[in-house]
């Protein structure tokens, strides 16, 4: 068994394939006289032996066989990463590791604390940097007493080879993750008095370099939770061109002084000269000694703009530095500013009598609403979507603490959340209850007559005022009030739901026990942090649904103006300016099935296709078994044809579509992931759900009898 730790002085800079770019870069810098912390390297053979001995290699291969990585959306890659991380955490290191770890730390007996860092062979090289993609753990207890901490940190670093961030980056570069391996760097954790990074070439202006620094250690800077002081220097001379102190007092807080700024610049120039390209160097100062913690090449020019994942529109790097504090700040911005502003602007549009506008004013209104829709879609992708990482963080913290058999057990903590879609559905159920208990009301509604029941009339009017605009982003603009009446009649055919309690979900009062188990898994000193992570995760989960409905209202107001324009064109001639304004509205804004642009236009679907296999495979996203006839949602109006007991089959479910879910037996969605909207609403109603079924709307036709297995992810055609 060739598994052992190697002192960095025994590692050659050329041994990248074994010890990785980070370790070998430090080995090279040590050879040219830079101060580097006492360090040990653990080669990739340890990782390879671990995944083989534990069967993780086979398990990972099985998970990857479900769907090609190239075909996965962000949500699916996140689920895959969380699943693999859970497998690593539950696997046990062989017994000899305890002795090996104690021996390694014994060789650094004077080390009070340590840092355990990733050092993948492709990491920190001239071709790619992987900066921030893999895990590092700092401040761990050193010496022989830190063996258990060392073991746990190594396993988590290994697992980060399969993080969503790393997988997305490898996909960007066309790398095969199954051929990747992970080395590990164990360092003395230097308790610096001030620390920072220096870019030997500013990514936005190669003639300058940038130093960022914070008092104390670097972690607060690296995870984005603390704003650094910043120095802009001339790249050739090191002359300070600009100082941005940030929140710090340069005269009081321990930050680098003028001569120390010069030493940091000289160190970066030395690193750049040695490696032959611009470097991103992490450093710390303790006393008079300047330590180089790591040096990696700058491979990305941030001035070139955003790298998108095709139609997915989520830049892969959004998850790089979404720290806990960063996410909390983002939550406050979204909850306190952005969502209220979006709602207020939609309300202003809703208060305008479009029919009373002359043609010129209507054209102006269409253009104004189109611009608002464009602006809010950009905000949605840039600010709302990243907040979903609050759920990601909760999942990681939960699994690290409890190591459950099911890596998605943490979703039990998210049930009974106050989702706006559920409040709308509860309002529909209240209308259905009136119909259920009053045969005369049912009869008059079926015949299209004005109901005599005043309570029903008031409830119906209240529903339209509060939720009617939500339906405009699905089929309200085409179905009108009659569509809502038909939906209520269909809801009334099902038995009266059991009484519910709780904060707004349909399964109220069921999350107390999971919450207690989660919080009790932490020592008292960490329990408040756990509670805050839970609160953040629940808020992010709620906003993930509610922000879509808010954006749907904005889209509905645009559609209302467009519909008024179409009405005028149909009844009058010679309106070229209005025609031009309507033609300029982007087609995706008119896709009423998906205001965020994630649905598939019906024109892209061949309804004549049939299943090539008796079973389709996807990802289990809501436990349970259910059998029912399929209702494939291709057009918005299909939602209002939905009948009780059918299986809802769609390309991508938006929260605006979920008003039919109380009628459904199960949900099948082409888009994959445990946190897509179909999965979220299915878990709230306790319905079987399978997501990530490629070509579901092509292979399944309305009326096909399906057996949906939410435990295994199988969707089977029945005779």
- Asked whether residue 308 is assigned to any structural domain, the reply reads no
- Asked whether residue 314 is assigned to any structural domain, the reply reads no
Domain span at residue 249 reads 194-301
Q: H/E element holding 361?
A: helix 359-379
Which of 95-104, 259-268, 299-308 has the lowest average pLDDT? 299-308
| Contact indicator for 545, 424 with CB cutoff of 8 Å | no
Confidence at residue 588, expressed as pLDDT on a 0 to 100 scale: 83
Confidence at residue 304, expressed as pLDDT on a 0 to 100 scale: 38
Which of 69-83, 211-225, 339-353, 388-402 has the lowest average pLDDT? 211-225
Residue bearing tokens 């809010």: 376
Confidence at residue 516, expressed as pLDDT on a 0 to 100 scale: 92
Confidence at residue 283, expressed as pLDDT on a 0 to 100 scale: 94
Q: Could you give the C-alpha distances from 314 to 310, 384, 711, in angstroms and in order?
A: 9, 11, 29
Q: Could you give the C-alpha distances from 108 to 6, 111, 144, in angstroms and in order?
A: 12, 6, 9
Mean pLDDT, range 165-178, rounded to an integer: 75
Which of 72-86, 278-292, 311-325 has the lowest average pLDDT? 311-325
Residue 227 pLDDT grade (very low, low, confident, very high; cuts 50, 70, 90): confident
Same domain assignment for residues 82 and 171 = yes
- CATH of residue 9: 3.30.1490.20
Mean pLDDT, range 618-627, rounded to an integer: 91
Same domain assignment for residues 205 and 243 = yes
Confidence at residue 613, expressed as pLDDT on a 0 to 100 scale: 55
Same domain assignment for residues 428 and 405 = no
Q: In 3-state terms, what secondary structure has residue 422?
A: helix
- Asked whether residue 499 is assigned to any structural domain, the reply reads no
Mean pLDDT, range 671-699, rounded to an integer: 89
Q: Which residue has the higher pLDDT, 359 or 125?
A: 359
Using left for φ > 0, alpha for ψ between -120 and 50, and beta otherwise, residue 156 falls in alpha
- Asked whether residue 209 is assigned to any structural domain, the reply reads yes
Mean pLDDT, range 151-176, rounded to an integer: 83
User: Which residues have C-beta within 8 Å of that of residue 456, sequence separation ≥ 6?
Assistant: 431, 434, 435, 438, 441
Compute the distance between CA of residue 559 and CA of residue 468 in angstroms, rounded to an integer.
13
Same domain assignment for residues 174 and 211 = no
End position of a domain, from candidates 590, 624, 657:
590
Compute the distance between CA of residue 597 and CA of residue 692 in angstroms, rounded to an integer.
17
Beta strand residue intervals within 566-678, DSSP E: 615-617, 619-622, 625-632, 647-650, 666-669
Task: With CA atoms as reference, report the closest residue to 309 among 493, 503, 75.
Answer: 75
Query: Per-residue pLDDT for 220 more than 80?
Result: no
- CATH of residue 284: 3.30.470.20
Same domain assignment for residues 408 and 453 = no
Rg (CA), the chain: 29
Same domain assignment for residues 123 and 12 = yes
Query: Per-residue pLDDT for 291 more than 90?
Result: yes
For residue 651 the two structure tokens come to 């390309």
Task: With CA atoms as reference, report the closest residue to 696 among 616, 631, 627, 625.
Answer: 616
Query: Per-residue pLDDT for 17 more than 60?
Result: yes
Same domain assignment for residues 441 and 379 = no
The answer to whether the Cα torsion of 335, 339, 343, 348 is positive or negative is positive
Same domain assignment for residues 479 and 411 = no
- Asked whether residue 312 is assigned to any structural domain, the reply reads no
Query: Per-residue pLDDT for 398 more than 90?
Result: yes
| Contact indicator for 631, 667 with CB cutoff of 8 Å | no
Q: Could you give the C-alpha distances from 384 to 333, 338, 347, 535, 556, in angstroms and in order?
A: 10, 9, 20, 17, 19
- Asked whether residue 79 is assigned to any structural domain, the reply reads yes
Which of 29-38, 497-506, 691-700, 702-711 has the lowest average pLDDT? 497-506
Confidence at residue 368, expressed as pLDDT on a 0 to 100 scale: 97
Same domain assignment for residues 32 and 153 = yes
Compute the distance between CA of residue 289 and CA of residue 285 in angstroms, rounded to an integer.
6
For residue 480 the two structure tokens come to 């009108």
User: Which residues have C-beta within 8 Å of that of residue 521, sequence separation ≥ 6?
Assistant: 401, 402, 530
Same domain assignment for residues 141 and 209 = no
Query: Per-residue pLDDT for 676 more than 50?
Result: yes
Mean pLDDT, range 173-189, rounded to an integer: 83
Compute the distance between CA of residue 706 and CA of residue 686 in angstroms, rounded to an integer.
18
Residue 459 CA from chain centroid, whole number? 37
Task: With CA atoms as reference, report the closest residue to 458 among 419, 431, 492.
Answer: 431
- CATH of residue 699: 3.50.30.10
User: Which residues have C-beta within 8 Å of that of residue 403, sequence separation ≥ 6?
Assistant: 86, 89, 90
Same domain assignment for residues 111 and 30 = yes
| Contact indicator for 412, 534 with CB cutoff of 8 Å | no
User: Could you tell me the strand order of the sheet in which 183-188 lies?
Assistant: 5-7, 39-42, 183-188, 113-119, 136-141
User: Model confidence over 561-580: pLDDT tens digits?
Assistant: 998 999 999 998 889 999 99
Query: Per-residue pLDDT for 357 more than 80?
Result: yes
- Asked whether residue 309 is assigned to any structural domain, the reply reads no
Query: Per-residue pLDDT for 487 more than 90?
Result: no
Q: Which residue has the higher pLDDT, 322 or 280?
A: 280
Burial 88-104 (b: 16+ CB within 10 A, else e): bbebebeeebeebbbeb
CA angle 34, 39, 40 (to 5 degrees): 140
Q: H/E element holding 700?
A: none
Compute the distance between CA of residue 544 and CA of residue 689 in angstroms, rounded to an integer.
18
Residue 168 pLDDT grade (very low, low, confident, very high; cuts 50, 70, 90): confident
Task: With CA atoms as reference, report the closest residue to 492 among 638, 662, 683.
Answer: 662
Confidence at residue 278, expressed as pLDDT on a 0 to 100 scale: 92
Confidence at residue 556, expressed as pLDDT on a 0 to 100 scale: 85
For residue 448 the two structure tokens come to 């299209």
Q: Which residue has the higher pLDDT, 501 or 292?
A: 292
Report the half-sphere exposure of 386 (CA within 13 A, side-chain side): 24
Residue 48 pLDDT grade (very low, low, confident, very high; cuts 50, 70, 90): very high
Mean pLDDT, range 94-98, rounded to an integer: 81
Could you tell me where the DSSP H helices lie in 6-43? 16-31
Which of 223-227, 303-307, 508-512, 530-534 has the lowest average pLDDT? 303-307
Mean pLDDT, range 435-452, rounded to an integer: 89
Same domain assignment for residues 283 and 329 = no
The length of the chain, given as a count of residues: 719
Mean pLDDT, range 454-461, rounded to an integer: 89
Confidence at residue 480, expressed as pLDDT on a 0 to 100 scale: 64
Residue 205 pLDDT grade (very low, low, confident, very high; cuts 50, 70, 90): confident
- Asked whether residue 500 is assigned to any structural domain, the reply reads no
Task: Determine what percent of the chain is predicted with pLDDT higher than 90.
Answer: 43
pTM: 0.79
For residue 201 the two structure tokens come to 């070439």
Residue 591 pLDDT grade (very low, low, confident, very high; cuts 50, 70, 90): low
What is the chain's mean pLDDT, rounded? 84
Please classify residue 570 by burial: count the beta carbons closer than 10 Å to its beta carbon, then call 0-12 exposed, 13-18 middle and 19+ buried.
exposed
State how many domains the chain has: 5
């Amino acid at each position: 068994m060739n598994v052992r730790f190697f002192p960095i002085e025994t590692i050659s800079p050329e041994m990248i394939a074994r010890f990785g770019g980070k370790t070998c870069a430090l080995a090279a810098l040590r050879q040219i006289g830079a101060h580097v912390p006492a360090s040990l390297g653990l080669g990739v053979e340890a990782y390879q032996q671990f995944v083989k001995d534990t069967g993780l290699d086979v398990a990972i291969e099985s998970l990857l066989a479900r769907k090609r990585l190239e075909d996965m959306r962000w949500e699916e890659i996140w689920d895959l990463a969380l699943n693999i991380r859970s497998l690593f955490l539950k696997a046990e290191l062989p017994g000899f590791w305890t002795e090996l770890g104690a021996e390694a730390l014994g060789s650094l007996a004077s080390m009070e604390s340590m840092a355990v860092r990733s050092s993948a062979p492709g990491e920190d090289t001239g071709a790619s940097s992987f900066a921030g993609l893999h895990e590092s753990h700092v401040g761990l207890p050193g010496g022989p007493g830190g063996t258990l901490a060392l073991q746990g940190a190594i396993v988590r670093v290994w697992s980060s080879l399969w993080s969503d961030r790393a997988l997305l980056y490898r996909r960007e570069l066309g790398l095969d993750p199954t051929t990747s391996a992970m080395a590990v760097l164990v360092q003395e954790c230097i308790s610096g008095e001030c620390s920072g990074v220096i870019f030997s070439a500013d990514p936005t202006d190669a003639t300058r370099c940038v130093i960022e620094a914070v008092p104390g250690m670097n972690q607060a800077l690296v995870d984005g939770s603390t704003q650094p002081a910043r120095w802009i220097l001339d790249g050739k001379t090191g002359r300070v061109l600009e100082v941005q102190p940030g929140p710090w007092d340069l005269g009081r807080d321990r930050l680098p002084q003028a001569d120390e700024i010069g030493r940091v610049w000289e160190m970066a120039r030395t690193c750049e000269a040695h490696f032959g390209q611009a470097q991103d160097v992490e450093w710390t100062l303790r006393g008079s000694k300047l330590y180089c913690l790591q040096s990696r090449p700058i491979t990305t020019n941030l001035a070139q703009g955003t790298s998108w994942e095709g139609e997915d529109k989520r830049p892969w790097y959004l998850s790089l530095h979404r720290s806990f504090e960063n996410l909390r700040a983002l939550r406050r911005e979204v909850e306190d500013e952005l969502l209220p502003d979006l709602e207020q602007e939609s309300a202003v549009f809703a208060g305008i009598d479009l029919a009373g506008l002359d043609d010129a004013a209507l054209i102006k209104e269409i253009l104004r609403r189109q611009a608002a829709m464009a602006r809010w879609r950009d905000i949605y992708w840039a600010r709302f979507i990243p907040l979903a990482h609050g759920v990601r963080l909760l999942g990681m913290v939960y699994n690290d603490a409890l190591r459950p058999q099911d890596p998605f057990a943490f979703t039990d903590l998210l049930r009974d959340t106050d989702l706006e879609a559920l409040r709308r559905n509860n309002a529909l159920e209240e209308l259905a209850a009136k119909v259920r208990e009053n045969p005369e009301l049912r009869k008059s509604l079926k015949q299209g007559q004005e109901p005599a029941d005043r309570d029903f009339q008031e409830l119906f009017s209240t529903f339209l005022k509060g939720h009617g605009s939500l339906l405009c982003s699905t089929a309200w603009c085409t179905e009108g009030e009659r569509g809502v009446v038909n939906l209520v009649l269909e809801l009334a055919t099902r038995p009266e739901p059991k009484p519910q309690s709780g904060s707004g979900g349909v399964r109220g009062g069921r999350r107390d026990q999971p919450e207690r188990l989660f919080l009790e898994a932490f020592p008292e000193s960490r329990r408040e942090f756990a509670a805050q992570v839970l609160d953040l995760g629940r808020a992010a989960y709620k906003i993930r649904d509610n922000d879509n409905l808010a954006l749907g209202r904005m889209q509905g107001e645009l559609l209302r103006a467009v519909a008024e324009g179409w009405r005028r064109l149909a009844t009058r001639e010679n309106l070229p300016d209005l025609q031009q304004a309507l033609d300029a509205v982007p087609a995706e804004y008119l896709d009423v099935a998906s205001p965020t642009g994630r649905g598939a236009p019906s024109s892209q679907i061949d309804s004549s296709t049939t299943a090539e296999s008796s079973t389709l495979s996807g990802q289990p996203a809501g436990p349970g078994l259910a059998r029912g006839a399929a209702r494939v949602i291709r057009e918005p109006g299909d939602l209002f044809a939905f009948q009780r007991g059918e299986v809802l089959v769609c390309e991508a479910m938006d929260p605006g579509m979920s008003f039919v879910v109380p009628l459904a037996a199960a949900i099948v969605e082409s888009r994959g992931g445990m946190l897509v909207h179909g999965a979220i609403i299915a878990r709230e109603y306790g319905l079987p759900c399978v997501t990530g079924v490629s070509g579901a709307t092509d292979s399944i036709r309305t009326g096909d009898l399906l057996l949906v297995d939410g435990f295994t992810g199988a969707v089977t055609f029945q005779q």
